[in-house]
Amino acid sequence: MGPLNGFTVIELAGIGPAPMGGMMLADMGAEVIRIERANAADLKQLKDVSARGKKSVVLNLKQAEGVETLLRMVENADVVIDPYRPGVCEKLGIGPDACMARNPRLVFARMTGWGQDGPLARAAGHDINYISLTGALFATGRRNEKPVPPLNLVGDMGGGGMLLVNGVLAALLEAANSGKGQVIDVAMVDGAAQLMWMFHGFEAVGAWDASQREANLLDGAAHFYDTYECADGRYISLGSIEPQFYALLMQLAELPEADFANQHDAARWPEMTEKLAAIIKQKTQAEWCELMEGTDVCFAPVLSFTEAPSHPANVARNTYIEVDGVTQPAPAPRFSRTPSSVAHGPRALGEDTAATLAAMGFAESEIRALRDAGTIG
């Protein structure tokens, strides 16, 4: 059983970071109950990875009976995940005040893009917008070209879902000591800003030019920290920052001393990048892997996410698993004594409604009445 066995999380259905956070909590052993609308998409049919390990309960929160049902469920929960814009839960009658009146130990985690307050709080947005406001998007891409969105990894996932889990776990630890819950304002714009911490320090000491892309150590300007095309059109990545690693790169790639000796001569980085690119293109990706993989060059082949599960290193560590025929990342991090696991794949819409309510103390007659009224599905 995972380290969160015994904790109950009510996840109001949303997209992106909130379901990711719920997935990670479920992987770690929490009972995660996803509250969905009757006309919601069936996540089992969509093969939604984030729905793994969760129970599916259909509840009509536009009915007073639905609101009361949720509040009764909250009495038995440790966490509520709110994925809506600020004020939506309050309008429904299930905001923090209403929920914590029923359960003072409750952790009420509010996942938004812009946060619960401020001039943008009620504006729509997506990952690309949140990371734009933190400098993360500006810093990503090639010199004199437009910024390139790093998928939705920085705002939604790193700055959202993982920050949500971090906040929930901290609040649960505090509640164990104080006996009191609290509201967590989890904003993707805050999380993306957190992820930029190192570059603020670099810029403060003159080690980073924040005014342009591909001009710094870690943004593709340095020839020893970049990706390169191979003879077969595939790519490799190099990260030979430390001098001993760079020396090994020079040795294994047979880089001429005259051209590559001055590793940190930034004025010559474009020239060295061009020459290194010509050398890398002389061999296939597989040939470079044979030569460098597993050495201290700091090397890896650039793989697609469908290729990644087959790489020997990922196979050896069981980094990927298959659930209901869908290949997906295994739970992480890895606990030595209470390992995480995936209990099951996505449930059909409303599959767990009756059983979950019964386990929370609802009588069979109450459940039948709620179904007859269209409150549950």
| Edge-to-edge strands, sheet with 225-229 | 225-229, 235-239, 299-301
Is 264 in the active site?
no
Q: Which residue has the tokens 């020396």?
A: 247
Give the C-alpha separation, 20 to 267, whole Å.
43
| 3-state secondary structure string across 46-62 | HCCHHHCCEEEEEECCC
* Active-site residue (options: 27, 78, 127, 156): 156
* Active-site residue (options: 126, 185, 311, 352): 126
Is residue 344 a contact partner of residue 53, using CB atoms and an 8 Å limit? yes
H/E run at residue 328: strand 326-329
Residue of 54, 44, 55, 56 whose CA lies nearest to 324: 44
Give the C-alpha separation, 48 to 111, whole Å.
19
Indicate the SS3 state at residue 185.
strand
Give the C-alpha separation, 141 to 328, whole Å.
28
Q: Which token pair is 199?
A: 């570059």
Is 324 in the active site?
no
Give the C-alpha separation, 322 to 329, whole Å.
8
Give the C-alpha separation, 228 to 277, whole Å.
6
DSSP 159: I
Q: Which active-site residues does the annotation give?
A: 126, 156
